[in-house]
Amino acid sequence: MTSIHGHAVLTMMIESGEHYSESSLEKAIHTRFGETARFHTCSAENMTAAELVAFLKAKGKFIPAEKGFSTSESKICRH
């Protein structure tokens, strides 16, 4: 099974221009990448969509907004 980098999820969020809740982001990830997709980042691997959302939140990758959260290019590491 192919693993998708978490940056792809952050890019999806930016391109959508939407604000998300944790559950709506998880649903958007399932819609875009599939229910069984696995994800990795620079420091973690083999995560489900829910685990990835929790990981990104803990790493400060989300920007709080009045209606949920979003992200920005500045939140994507470039190493």
Q: Please list the residues that pair with 70 across neighbouring strands.
A: 63
In terms of DSSP H, where are the helices of 1-79? 6-16, 22-33, 49-58
Residue 17 pLDDT class (50, 70, 90 cuts): very high
Give the model confidence (pLDDT) of 21-79 as tens digits.
Answer: 999 999 999 999 999 999 999 899 999 999 999 999 999 999 999 899 999 999 988 76
Residue ranges and CATH numbers for the domains of the chain are: 3-73 (1.10.10)
Predicted structure pTM score: 0.93
pLDDT tier at 1, thresholds 50, 70, 90: low
Q: How many residues does the chain have?
A: 79
**What confidence category does residue 15 fall into, taking pLDDT thresholds of 50, 70 and 90?**
very high
Residue 10: what residue type?
Answer: L
